[in-house]
Amino acid sequence: MRTSIATVCLSGTLEEKLRAASAAGFDGVEIFEQDLVVSPQTPEDIARLARELGLSLDLYQPFRDLEGVDEATFAGNLRRAEAKFALMRRLGMSTILLCSNVGTATIDDDELVAGQLRRLGDLAERYDIDVAYEALAWGRFVSEYDRAWDLVRAADHPRIGTCLDSFHILSRRTDLETIARIPGDKIFFLQLADAPALTMDVLSWSRHHRVFPGEGSWDLTDFLARVAATGYSGPVSLEVFNDSFRQADTYRTAVDGLRSLRWLEAGVSATLNGALGVAVGSAAGSAAGGAAGAGTALDLRPLPEVAEPRAVDFVELSTEDLGTLTRQLHQLGFDFTGFHRSKPHVQLWTRGQARIVISEIDSAAIDRPWSERSPGSYLRGIGFDVDDAEAAMHRATLLHAIEVPREQSHDEEVLRGVFAPDGSEVFFHQSDGTAPAWIREFGTDTGRRASRIDHVNLAQPASHYDESVLFYTSLLNLHAQPSQDVPSPSGLVRSQVMSSADRSIRMPLNVAPVHSELVGDKARAQTSADPYPEHVAISCEDIFEAAAIARARGLDFLAVPQNYYEDLASRFDLDPDFLRRLQEHHVLYDADSAGEFLHFYTSTIGSVFFEMVERRGAYQGFGAPDAPVRLAAQYRRNRGL
Ligand code: MG
Ligand code: MG
């Protein structure tokens, strides 16, 4: 599949954008006119640079407000078009994007518009240029792709084709069946963007909230499969207007974009090979070359397929404060399994199937790419129990993840992993039984208690949030649940759960309010960084027993206010003795029609705290109504209030 990216997706100068797209591995780019206009480079310089970088210049865009106008206006529009065609020759480019008229159209007449497109085609012919006509979702008269296709067909000119843009089509929920009726060679260009489900005007949605495929809520696998089935053989290009991406590191955004296309390509490849004619419905049947050849014109490459992880194998914490951290684990009922036999600064603590590896910080441990974590105690990595660790690692590498450098001696379990976008480490391990073989490197696992890691709550830098969603989706096959906003004293916390289908893996990703560390005591916050904390939640069978042991061992519980319990009494019909018990043990409570959730929190060490949870029945949540209580209590505690 030939990959391309619009320069508007990326930050920086036009030259920086081209270099980043090339370095990431894209085959080509779309030149966004504004990027060229503001550049001191001549069109010939840009063409030369692209050649040196091995990038094709796939699409010049946009050309606006051409059609549906009176003759005098149209004559002026043709003059504008001719100037652009001449410029494109200097760039060595052969395809231009024509957006449906937004501003100047006054005549809604198919015959007139088709005639004007035809005359543009005649002009384009003289410059050896193809025109890809795209329906903008907010076009004055033409806002649906099927209408644009009708007009292209009516224009009946070899230089006039259509551009399909998933944003404009999916945002309007246009029926996708028409795609199958467009011959692949009349689709002159294909642009992809995903978007979160939002209710707002479509122009603002498009200009600020587009994301790369896999980062939003649309089914782009189905969309691309439908286009592939037409026999389309051109580039598959990303056109994403996103406020964060435009501020982020250019190369990094380019890698994120290419990862999204590789993931999508493999998904479509699997769809077309596995369920041809089922997943894409009638679309496959009308493809050039017939159903058997569907998608082959795009030359789709698969990725090693991986099953969802089975469980969290371990969580690794790094700490400068070993005493406080291990004391807290002991208070929570963890047992010390042992030191690692060849790495004395690493130790293992277990509570049933919940395994926490602790490494004492040395300075080398902080030298990681894209790290935005402060030292102290922090969540360094997560090990996942997978079906096939080698396949998972191979897939991760093909998705442009960076491998974690690791020292390992010959007699130790092979453990390989990659860096996640937040700088933490993700390891793949396959265990054959309940106790993974690597535990022997620490000692004997007693594994008495019925306990496991229930969820791991990760803080994400706002600037890399969408990248994180795609990372866990594409590498680990996790699924993103709809995002929620949780109120905290320093702002709203955006929270989105990544989980496996059977919920054995649950990872809420949280974006802290951008300025959260600046609220309150500014001077102190700037030195201590007051990081938004992450937590590891451990399941137990009896929360009151766990709380009693913790209290007997002197655990510093996170305090829960009396007001919370009074509110709880009004929300749920709870037995007064039960309510008293909850309060006495600092246990919070939630329930829904599926079951109940009982949990308590520890104080925070560095940027990590723990949560002990008991799930009753089939409750699947995380006590969402309790999260603001927890955030408020932590806010007070951080400030000594
Ligand atoms: Mg577009
Ligand atoms: Mg939690």
Enter the tokens of residue 170: 């999916």
Instruction: With CA atoms as reference, report the closest residue to 28 among 260, 250, 234, 300.
Output: 234
Q: CB under 8 Å, gap of 24 or more: what pairs does 33-37 form?
A: 33/60, 33/61, 33/62, 34/8, 35/7, 35/8
Q: 538: pLDDT confidence band, cut at 50, 70 and 90?
A: very high
Q: Give the pairing of strands 3-6 and 236-238.
A: parallel
CB 158 within 8 A of CB 117: no
* Ligand that comes closest to the CA of residue 169: 1
CATH architecture assigned to 311-638: Roll (3.10)
Q: Dihedral (C-alpha) 286, 289, 293, 295: value to the nearest 10 degrees?
A: -60
**HSE-up of residue 421 (Cα within 13 Å, Cβ side):** 27
Query: DSSP for 479-534?
Result: EEPPPEEEEETTEEEEEEEEE-TTSSSEEEEEE--TTGGGSS-HHHHHHH--PPPE
User: 361 near 608, Cβ under 8 Å?
Assistant: no
Report d(CA 604, CA 323) in Å as an integer: 14
Spacing, Cα 468 to ligand 1 middle (Å): 25
Question: Residue 356: in which H helix or E strand, if any?
Answer: strand 354-360
Identify which ligand lies nearest to the alpha carbon of 627: 2
- Looking at the CA of 8, name the nearest ligand: 1
Residues 496-528 pLDDT 10s: 999 999 999 999 998 876 654 433 333 333 334
Residue 239 CA, ligand 1 centroid: distance in Å: 6
Confidence label for 370 from pLDDT (cuts 50, 70 and 90): very low
Ion ligand 1: residue ranges with CB closer than 5 A: 165, 191, 239
Residues 61-89 as b or e (16 or more Cβ within 10 Å = b)? bbbbbbbbbeeebbeebeeebeebbebbe
Ligand nearest to the CA of 508: 2
Predicted pLDDT at 447: 62
- Cα-to-centroid distance, 626 and ligand 2 (Å): 9
Per-residue pLDDT band at 439 (split at 50, 70, 90): confident
Q: Which two tokens stand for residue 555?
A: 């655990």
Is 59 a residue whose pLDDT tops 60?
A: yes
Q: Where does CATH 3.20.20.150 sit in the chain?
A: 3-265
**How many degrees, rounded to 5, is the angle at CA 109 between CA 107 and CA 115?**
105
User: Does 330 have pLDDT greater than 90?
Assistant: yes
Residue-wise pLDDT tens digits, 376-413: 788 999 999 999 999 999 999 999 999 999 877 778 88
Q: What 3-state DSSP class applies to 219?
A: coil
- Which residues touch 619 (CB under 8 Å, ≥6 apart)? 590, 591, 592, 594, 595, 596, 597
Indicate the pLDDT class of residue 366, thresholds 50, 70 and 90: low
The pLDDT of residue 363 is above 70: no
- 17 CA from centroid of ligand 1 (Å): 18
Q: For residue range 72-99, what is the model confidence (pLDDT) as tens digits?
A: 999 999 999 999 999 999 999 999 999 9
- 84 CA distance to ligand 2 middle (Å): 56
pLDDT computed for residue 531 by the predictor? 61
Task: Tell me how far the alpha carbon of residue 89 lies from the centroid of ligand 1, in angstroms.
Answer: 22
Distance 88 CA to ligand 2 centre (A): 55
Q: How many CB atoms lie within 10 A of CB 363?
A: 7
Question: At 525, which amino acid appears?
Answer: A
**Strand pairing class (425-429; 416-419):** antiparallel
Residue whose tokens read 């001077």: 523
Query: Is the four-CA dihedral 516, 519, 521, 526 of positive or negative sign?
Result: positive
% pLDDT > 90, the chain = 73
| Distance in Å, CA 399 to ligand 2 centroid | 29
Q: Which ligand is nearest to the CA of 602?
A: 2
| SS3 (DSSP) at 339 | strand
**How far apart are the C-alpha atoms of 168 and 206, rounded to whole Å?**
8
What pLDDT score does 568 carry? Answer: 96
Superfamily of domain 3-265: Divalent-metal-dependent TIM barrel enzymes (3.20.20.150)
CA dist 279 → 195, 270, 273, 391 (Å) = 22, 10, 10, 25
Give the integer Cα–Cα distance in Å for 98 and 157: 15
Q: Per the structure block, which two tokens stand in for 488?
A: 């905290």
Q: Which ligand is closest to the CA of 238, given by its number?
A: 1
Residue ranges of the chain assigned to CATH 3.10.180.10 = 311-638
The proportion of the chain whose per-residue pLDDT surpasses 70, expressed as a percent, equals 91
In order of 340, 486, 547, 590, the CA distances from 623 in angstroms are: 36, 11, 18, 6
Closest ligand to C-alpha of residue 210 is 1
Q: How far is CA 399 from the centre of its chain?
A: 13
In the reported structure, the alpha carbon of residue 407 is separated from the centroid of ligand 1 by a whole-number distance in angstroms of 47
pLDDT of residue 517: 44
Ligand 1 mean position, distance from CA 466 (Å): 20
Kindly give the distance from the C-alpha atom of residue 198 to the centroid of ligand 1, in angstroms, as a whole number.
19
Packed helices 14-24 and 250-274: angle between N→C axes, nearest 10 degrees: 40
The torsion defined by the Cα of 317, 318, 320 and 321, in degrees rounded to 10, comes to: 10
CA angle (622 as vertex; 619, 624 as ends), nearest 5 = 115
Q: Using CA atoms, how far apart are residues 195 and 636, in angstroms rounded to an integer? A: 36
Arithmetic mean of pLDDT, 216-220: 95
Least confident of 96-105, 113-122, 261-270, 482-491: 482-491
Distance 596 CA to ligand 2 centre (A): 14
Residue 392 has a pLDDT of 96
In 3D space, the residue among 454, 234, 470, 480 whose CA is nearest the CA of residue 352 turns out to be 454
For 358, 453, 538, 549, 578, the CA distances from 543, given in Å and listed in that order, are 24, 15, 11, 10, 12
- Burial class of residue 290 in the structure, from the number of CB atoms within 10 Å of its CB (0-12 exposed, 13-18 middle, 19+ buried): exposed
- For residues 195 and 187, give the distance between their C-alpha atoms in angstroms, rounded to a whole number: 23
Amino acid at 29: V
Output the average pLDDT for the chain: 89
What is the whole-number distance in angstroms between the Cα of residue 325 and the centre of ligand 1? Answer: 52
